[in-house]
Amino acid sequence: TVRADRPPLRERAVAELTAARARTKALTDAVTDEDLTAQHSPLMSPLVWDLAHIGNQEELWLLRNVAGRAPMHPEIDPLYDAFAHPRADRPRLPLLGPAAARRYAAQVRGQVFDLLERTPLEGTSLLADAFAFGMIAQHEQQHDETMLITHQLRRGEPVLAAPDPAPPAGPPPAVREVLVPAGPFTMGTSTEPWALDNERPAHVRETSAFWIDTVPVTCADYQAFMADGGYHEPSWWAPEGWEQIRKHDIEAPLFWHREGSVWLRRRFGVTEPVPGDEPVLHVSWYEADAYARWAGRRLPTEAEWEKAARHDPAQGRSTRYPWGDADPTPDRANLGQRHLRPARAGSYPAGASPLGVRQLIGDVWEWTASDFLPYPGFRAFPYREYSEVFFGPAHKVLRGGSFAVAPVACRGTFRNWDLPVRRQIFSGFRTARDA
């Protein structure tokens, strides 16, 4: 199915694969070969692993599974299987070096463009709507975000640059929170062509009435919690969160440090004062949860977040994005690593939801209260290891995407997940309360 307002899916696949590779190239050409093979944090792979893993997944899904070709280098497959080796062990594997990894990814891509040109997009569910090509473009962009996290963890001189976001285009929202009425809405999707398995199928959910913040929690908001002794008052914290911050002496978001009475942060190699009016970034689920409790509020559930982002009361249906069905544009959301930071809270009035909630898409991933669970009728596709093996109480859901997420991998239905202790990711949050 082709939407009139967007190019056909074959052309879109070419454009998205090309855009992803340009970003991969920029992220990997920015550093020396030594930096590409180094491990900048035990939480992350060496950048050269991500690079060859991108090529290997593309070969596996498009050249082998779609086109039925034989493996190009079967001996390297186990090296790039994310389940075979934990990230911390990857630097000690006999990985392809930078030149070989670049060559491999380029060789795969050449054959993929050939295939995409010649293959009828029909028949199997992998081919219909160019799904497998869209999935692989999203996969590469997801690893580009992972590589950007590695860049943020890397010590040393800055190597990436981007203009700062423009100041908000107009006045801030008139109110701090809005009331979302009780009632059903459609969660998830059965029609978005490149939606991944965990976003499917569309189904009806009920929520009670709730209030939700019109903008994400800012650094200034968060500093009020810190100044009030938030990190030293156990009653704000989930027991495992309290254990975590005491064990690791955590008393501020990751990458923050204090000089005298001033809080500074390190951002892609630059040290700067913490900007009060920017959404807080690099907090764990536990920190978000504790802040919300201190504020007399709570995190929104995943269903509440999606209802705030997609339910249009006037049309009585769920839209693709808060602003409607049109694709993201620079005036609606801070996506795609156009900037190396979130935009100020209150930005993007053109991206607001019908109720006036802003910045649901882009800027910072937003922690929700919810565990990562399958929707009713979930079917693992095309492989169990994308989503299914992660379902359960260990992982919390994040929504909305960050400044580091490409539009192709961001929708009102898109679901991300991570462990509640993680804070190297581009994570922030907003709060809610019962009505």
- Nearest CA to 79 out of 97, 65, 61 is that of 97
Query: Would you call 315 exposed, middle or buried from its count of C-beta atoms within 10 A (0-12, 13-18, 19+)?
Result: exposed
Q: φ, ψ for residue 352 (rounded to 5)?
A: -70, 155
- Nearest CA to 222 out of 62, 17, 427 is that of 427
Helix (H), strand (E) at residue 294 = helix 285-294
Q: Smallest gap, in angstroms, from Cβ of residue 426 to ligand AVJ?
A: 11
CA 334 to chain centre: 12
> CA 344, CA 214: separation in Å to the nearest integer?
13
Q: Is 56 an interacting residue with respect to ligand AVJ (CB under 6 A)?
A: no
> CA 363, CA 337: separation in Å to the nearest integer?
10
Q: What is the DSSP string of 164-203?
A: PPPPPSSPPPSSSEEEEPSEEEEES-SS-TT--GGG-S-E
Q: Please report, in range form, the residues annotated as the binding site.
A: 53, 87-90, 139, 143, 418, 422
Q: Smallest gap, in angstroms, from Cβ of residue 417 to ligand AVJ?
A: 6
- List residues bridging with 257 in a β-sheet: 264
Nearer Cβ to ligand AVJ (359/416) = 416
Binding mask 354-393 for ligand AVJ (x = CB under 6 A): --------------------------------x-------
Exactly one of 24, 28, 56, 142 binds ligand AVJ (CB under 6 A); that residue is 142
Q: Smallest gap, in angstroms, from Cβ of residue 80 to ligand AVJ?
A: 11
Stretch that binds ligand AVJ, among 84-92, 137-145, 239-247, 264-272 (CB under 6 A): 137-145
Note the maximum CA span of the chain. 65
Nearer Cβ to ligand AVJ (61/263) = 61
Q: Smallest gap, in angstroms, from Cβ of residue 416 to ligand AVJ?
A: 5
Q: φ, ψ for residue 212 (rounded to 5)?
A: -135, 145
Nearer Cβ to ligand AVJ (220/373) = 373
**Which two tokens mark 403?**
């400044």
Q: How many residues bind ligand AVJ (CB under 6 A)?
A: 7
* Residues 215-274 interacting with ligand AVJ (rule: CB under 6 A): none
Q: Is 417 an interacting residue with respect to ligand AVJ (CB under 6 A)?
A: yes
Q: Smallest gap, in angstroms, from Cβ of residue 410 to ligand AVJ?
A: 12
Q: Is 139 an interacting residue with respect to ligand AVJ (CB under 6 A)?
A: yes
The label of the residue with tokens 């299914």 reads 388
Q: Smallest gap, in angstroms, from Cβ of residue 198 to ligand AVJ?
A: 9
Nearer Cβ to ligand AVJ (142/284) = 142
> CA 75, CA 62: separation in Å to the nearest integer?
18
Q: Smallest gap, in angstroms, from Cβ of residue 283 to ligand AVJ?
A: 17
Q: Is 61 an interacting residue with respect to ligand AVJ (CB under 6 A)?
A: no
**Which two tokens mark 190?**
């059965």
Nearer Cβ to ligand AVJ (83/314) = 83
Q: Is 416 an interacting residue with respect to ligand AVJ (CB under 6 A)?
A: yes
Which residue has the CB atom at the shortest distance from ligand AVJ? 142
Angle between helices 47-58 and 9-29 (to 10 degrees): 160
Binding residues for ligand AVJ (CB under 6 A): 139, 142-143, 146, 386, 416-417
